[in-house]
Structure 1
């Protein structure tokens, strides 16, 4: 008797069910969920998050806070970095290979070969796993947009959260901030409160108009809650009072805003002091200004201060540049690989002021990688000394030989970051 297929085999098979990776509609998801008996109706209370930047970090902080108060939490994210299992956390633990294989198999059988995207069918698998395991909360992060995202099938979540909205994925979501905000705000539901992080005015106007139509109470930064960094601490204030907390453990000034949204969510959900402290001190979110301290890459360049970040749009570039500017003075070099769907000039322009050089790489195994020579060309155009290398390791080795005590940031894509984490153990 042959062995049962692994999750990797089933996932590869699922890639063939639709010619496009992204095709935004909810029809196929509704069809499969109905065939599965509507697991989305049996989820523990749902907190649904959308936004361009910060939704992953904000979700990680909310989860850390909930778990500090002994809550069992399901969590769904995308994309994964090293292994698909990272996308589905069941009652606090990454889904097991056995449970993932079973859920994927069941979705494959129920789908009966019909057209459905990879993200849609795997989201249905996550709902199956969540519906069958008791928990106190379910954290759902949208994959792309909101209105037509496969996660947007829960009629009445407990809470929605909108993190900062900026330009990204314009080919799917619209060319303007207002159009993109309209898609992201599609997760708002009638009567369900929504926590809103800092937004451009054009985005906030759209969000407020939709909330008014739906009677959805808004909890917006700058209006209903405020957060700031003061004397190395973080101060959060809303109508319930003031919280004086440690600075977020996730690096970057932008994480103060993300932490504020997480605290607003936790307060609205009725959690207490232990949750607030843990949200800012215990969150774990890899590849967001993550310091790499061990592994083959650090061993290959022992004097280098090595960082990894998966941000990939202009707002992420600005946040990175700001954070790099706050670090102790040290020559900074970039190793960058990006997808050909991104605004590379917009991403790199802010970084040109804080980095001495950029070494461009193509993303291994990624069909939509921007060729290294194109990344280098744009980097040079925005004022960065640019070169190319065949691999991240080759780039790092060359930088270490020329500047042995430098700071190096590997950046530009979550797909590149995932490859780095896999190779670095």
Structure 2
């Protein structure tokens, strides 16, 4: 169940002092990556930092980190139970995401972090994370069509909704690769909210950009990753403006090299699951914008031979299956459709039926394509392993599918953790 509004989260946190300041990140795509980069650099600088992103990937608590380490399970469960008890006692009626947000923010206070890097769950002004009233800086990443039923039918509407996190006098860093219409919508909202300065990145040819890529190797990153790094660095620089010099901020950049954001262009082995020797690619691309990025990557880095790509696909209900498949599939590719399992803490998230994905793939008219359906991710990987005959396999369509596969890999590798 998705409930917007700040009344319930405000009541959940009414007795909790939030002594930390935030870097608050909204957008359609790239939010999590920006949060990961910022958090890594803050941690490298010895600044106590907490990170809250959503959804979780494998375990419910892995969406919360303290100083770049996932919060301990027992500490998470203990804090969550206290939040839930208060919710019941005070008859607040908070949603699952509001309870999770309150748990994360309470943990940040308990662990005495200095800066919280917080990803918006959905939307902006009425998202539970927007209980943050005095952030150090806000960030708006790439805006695209997603969650239209909740956020608006056009990218301009969605941009205005997400720009609801802007605050009076607080600067905002904006992904300058957005369309002019989106940038205009954000600018209008900034005026309405009396926000601080808007910093548009990347600033091609700027001295700051040159210094960043003097330290990092630009060729090591995809174009969208380069933008995410610049967004993160600009946000970091603004957040630490009063305490650190430019040279000190630049010294934190190498932390980006070791930043891993699972489920996004991630290469993994499924040998313990299916016996396949070759690694596969996982990406949670679930909307057109993300699918276009994945398609570009696959065309340049994966389609290196004449072998077709074997796709393992699952999609959340309400997403544009045909739009995503149209972006990804090429003639002679194979499709194995499946369904992800129940999502812990988010019972409203349901998969599109595998047979319906197959129907869409058939409508697209793949030439000589092999199209199968299997009910679960592991079975689909087994079919993909046999069908691909060592050729490339890419898993996409839903981060929840990626979660199922990573969870299965962990269980196969270390049965005690499953």
TM range (shorter): 0.7 to 0.9
- Pairs aligned (count): 388
1:205 to 184, 189, 203: 184
Say if 1:260 and 1:278 are closer, same or farther in 2 by CA, change over 3 A.
same
Kept after mapping to 2: 8 A contact 1:337/1:372: yes
State the match for 1:138 in structure 2: 116
1:326 to 300, 314, 333: 300
Could you say what the CA RMSD is over the residues aligned between the two structures, in angstroms? 2.2
2:9 to 29, 42, 51: 29
Deviation by residue 1:65-103 (Cα, 9 ceiling, x = unmatched): 122222221000110011011111123322122321221
Shift of 1:250: 8.2
State the match for 1:5 in structure 2: none
Deviation by residue 1:206-231 (Cα, 9 ceiling, x = unmatched): 11112223142111125xx238xxxx
1:7-26 matches, cutoff 5 A: 21-26=1-6
2:355 to 329, 351, 373: 373
Kept after mapping to 2: 8 A contact 1:360/1:388: yes
Structure 1 counterpart SS, 2:204: strand
Aligned partners of 1:354 and 1:204: how far apart in 2? 36
Aligned partners of 2:228 and 2:377: how far apart in 1? 30
The answer as to 2:261 corresponding to 1:285 is yes
Deviation by residue 1:365-393 (Cα, 9 ceiling, x = unmatched): 36611000111111222344332123333
State the match for 1:193 in structure 2: 171
Aligned partners of 1:251 and 1:347: how far apart in 2? 23
Structure 1 counterpart SS, 2:251: helix
1:23-422 matches, cutoff 5 A: 23-34=3-14, 37-39=15-17, 41-42=18-19, 44-111=20-87, 112=89, 113-197=91-175, 198-213=177-192, 214-221=194-201, 225-226=203-204, 237-238=207-208, 243-247=213-217, 252-270=222-240, 271-279=248-256, 281-293=257-269, 296-297=272-273, 299-302=274-277, 304-327=278-301, 329-330=304-305, 331=307, 332-353=309-330, 356-365=333-342, 368-384=350-366, 385=369, 386-422=371-407
Structure 1 counterpart SS, 2:318: coil
Say if 1:390 and 1:267 are closer, same or farther in 2 by CA, change over 3 A.
same
Shift of 1:237: 4.3
Kept after mapping to 2: 8 A contact 1:192/1:216: yes
Structure 1 residues not aligned, in runs of 5+: 1-20, 228-235
TM-score relative to the length of structure 2:
0.87
Instruction: Flag the structure with higher strand content.
Output: 1
Kept after mapping to 2: 8 A contact 1:237/1:243: no
Deviation by residue 1:244-300 (Cα, 9 ceiling, x = unmatched): 243479864321111121121222234522212222x12111000110035523x52
Aligned partners of 1:421 and 1:278: how far apart in 2? 24
Kept after mapping to 2: 8 A contact 1:253/1:319: no
Kept after mapping to 1: 8 A contact 2:311/2:395: yes
TM-score relative to the length of structure 1:
0.85
Kept after mapping to 1: 8 A contact 2:43/2:67: no
Structure 2 residues not aligned, in runs of 5+: 241-247, 344-348, 411-418
